[in-house]
Structure 1
Amino acid sequence: MDLGVTIFLTDQSIDPIELAREVEERGFSSIWLPEHTHIPTSRRTPAPMGEPLDEEYRRCLDPFVTMGMMTAVTERVRMGTGISLLAERDPIVTAKEIATLDHVSDGRITLGIGYGWNIEELENHGGSKKTRRAVVRERVLAMQELWGEEAAAFHGEHVHMDEAWAWPKPKQQVRGRSGVPVLVGGAAGPILFEHIAEFGDGWIPIGGAGVAAAMADLHAAGEKVGRDPSEFTVVPFGTLPDQGKLDHYQSLGITETVLRLPSAPRDDVLKVLDSYAPFVGG
């Protein structure tokens, strides 16, 4: 079982470069960073993880800038967004950022995406709760065209892009063309699994509860559109390690689990990281 870590890196937490080096040295497989551009003060949308909202949400570093720093000082550990809010991002610029990161890191980037729970944050970017899922779908599809085609075009309801060139291409090959793996985060449900089946490469269940029961539905969604269920990667996210839990995930065919690190200064983070180290390679 490969083990990755996720953390809210902020202006008050451990330094990203030091963390990246320490994670790779201990043999962890990946580092995943969340995204919030800002947090509106209205708090009209209650946080699903409970209120008051933790300070780290309003202080988190930009994941793409930070991944660039971290890949520059590591050789093996993969980097991913956990998760990126594509309904708040320009797809052409984001496709360029991700392709560049994958190119310069020699193919070590995974794009974890979500629809976003903070509706005020989304609205500040011109989005809406009603359209966010459709917008995310089209933006991913447009980005995949930019990554995978020499001359790419996309015309949907929310994204319009005439034929264009865009390099660099990602180093990785995904389903027969240049790209990066796209994992969709969120609670199990028919729309989420339809989207994974259409444009995704896997699922990020937050917390991992109910994964076993839901995997059959994910596989059925893939089979419905002619995809082999074995193509889908399932990465339980934000888990606190327990050998029984990790063994259970492994019995389901899950090969990587992502553990939660505290958004904290160096000594506090490394103490937790060291407590996870005995599970690496298990």
Structure 2
Amino acid sequence: MDFGISTFVTDEGIRPGVLGKALEERGFDSLFLAEHSHIPASRESPYPPGGDLPRIYYRTLDPFVTLAAIASTTSNLLLGTGVALLIQRDVFHTAKEVASLDLISGGRVLFGVGAGWNREEMRNHGTDPRTRGALLDEQLQALKLLWTEEQAEFHGKFVDFDPVFSWPKPVQRPHPPIYIGGESERALQRLAKYGDAWLPRPGTPPEEIRRVKSWLAEQGRENVPTTIFGAPAERAGVAALAEAGVDRLSLLLPTLPESETLRKLDEFATFAGEFK
């Protein structure tokens, strides 16, 4: 099982380039960055884990700008979003950002997407929370066409455009792998239809991992890679997930100043080394 890192990069923590270099030096294979465009001051949507919304949500950097900076200080580190809120994004700009990052990094992008939870944030982007899943499904279909067709067109209920040119094309063929976040029935259906890999959250039981893998095989989707996003460094839990067939564990790195972050990464590297 491989080990990566998931985190929030903010204006108050370690700089992106230093972080990327430190991850690669310690043998981590990937980095997944969270995305929030803003946090509405009148937010009513409850924070999923409960309690107050952590400060990092208010201050996170743009993931694609951050990953581009990290690409410049690394050679092999995989550059992931965990997760990009595609339903709050323009599909053309997103297609170009992902393809551009894949080009400048030499084909290292892992494109993680999810339907999101902050309904006020969605509404500020003009997205109806009630139809965000259907919107996301159409956006994923449109992105694949923009990445793979010389002249792409798409005609859906939420995404609709006549033939267009969209360059650059990604380095990875046919396109960067799409990691589908979430564990709901709707998310799993999305994974089976449009995803290349699964990005479930920590707390997903090993037996559920096995069930989903078996179900995917029944849908003709055998050997879909699975990465646990934002997991704690707990030995018993990690061993059980590895036995269940998880391919990668992305450990949750707290957002800290540089010296504290490097110490925490040293701890994580020692922990990961126990499973190699």
Instruction: Please state which band the TM-score falls in when normalised by the shorter chain.
Output: over 0.9
Q: Which residue of 1 aligns with 2:200?
A: 205
Q: Is the 8 A contact 1:14 1:264 kept in 2?
A: yes
Residue identity opposite 2:221 in structure 1: D
Distance 1:222 1:124 in 2: 39
Distance 1:242 1:214, change over 3 A: closer
Answer whether contact 2:206 2:240 (CA < 8 A) is retained: no
Compare 15-24 and 46-55 and name the one that shifted more.
46-55
Deviations 1:64-106 (A, max 9, x none): 0100000011001101001110010001110110011101111
Counterpart in the other structure of 2:18: 18
For residues 14-163 of structure 1, the aligned pairs below 5 Å read 14-163=14-163
Structure-2 residue corresponding to 1:250: 242
Cα deviation for residue 144 of structure 1 reads 0.7
Q: 1:214, 1:158 → 2: CA distance?
A: 32
Give the alignment's Cα RMSD to 1 decimal.
Answer: 1.4
1:264 matched to 2:248: no
Number of matched residues?
Answer: 274
Distance between the aligned counterparts of 1:240 and 1:3, measured in 2?
A: 12
Kindly state the Cα deviation for residue 184 of structure 1 after the two structures are TM-superposed.
Answer: 1.1
Name the CA distance, whole Å, in 2 between partners of 1:123 and 1:211. 35
One-letter amino acid matched to 1:69: A
CA deviations over 1:106-141 (Å, ceiling 9, x no partner)? 110001111110000000000121011111111111
Distance 2:229 2:13 in 1: 20
Please give the secondary structure, in 1, of the residue aligned with 2:129.
coil
> Whole-Å Cα distance in 1 between the matches of residues 117 and 15 of structure 2?
27
CA contact (8 A) 1:151 1:165 kept: yes
Distance 1:256 1:108 in 2: 16
Distance 1:76 1:181 in 2: 16
- Which secondary structure does the structure 2 equivalent of 1:163 belong to? strand
2: distance between equivalents of 1:206 and 1:214? 11
Deviations 1:122-164 (A, max 9, x none): 0000012101111111111100111112221111100012112
CA deviation after TM superposition for structure 1 residue 219, in Å: 3.9
Whole-angstrom distance in 2 between the partners of 1:248 and 1:137: 32
Alignment of 1:158-169 (within 5 A): 158-169=158-169
Label 1:93 to 1:259 Cα distance change in 2 as closer, same or farther (>3 A).
same
SS of 1:229's partner is coil
Residue 262 of structure 2 aligns with an amino acid whose one-letter code is L
Give the residue type in structure 2 aligned to 1:256: R
Is residue 2:170 matched to residue 1:180? no
Q: Give percent identity, aligned residues only.
A: 39
Q: 1:229 aligns with which of 222, 229, 237?
A: 222
**Displacement, 1:216?**
2.0
Alpha-carbon distance in 1 for matches of 2:45, 2:217: 33
Q: d(CA) in 1 for partners of 2:208 and 2:181? A: 17
In the TM superposition, what is the alpha-carbon distance from 1:276 to its structure 2 partner? 0.7
> Which SS does the other structure have where 2:140 is aligned?
helix
Q: Does the CA-based 8 Å contact 1:193-1:218 persist in structure 2?
A: no
| TM-score where L is the length of structure 1 | 0.93
Q: Which residue of 1 aligns with 2:230?
A: 238
- Residue 5 of structure 1: aligned partner: 5
- TM-score of the pair, normalised by structure 2: 0.95
Q: Is residue 5–residue 28 contact of structure 2 (8 Å, CA) maintained in 1?
A: yes
SS in 2 for 1:32: strand
TM-superposed deviation, 1:233:
1.3
**Structure 1 residues 39, 76: CA separation in 2 closer, same or farther (over 3 Å shift)?**
same
CA distance in 2 between counterparts of 1:185 and 1:205 reads 6
> Is 2:186 aligned against 1:191?
yes
Residue segments in structure 1 that go unaligned for 5+ positions in a row? none
Aligned partner of residue 65 in structure 2, secondary structure = helix
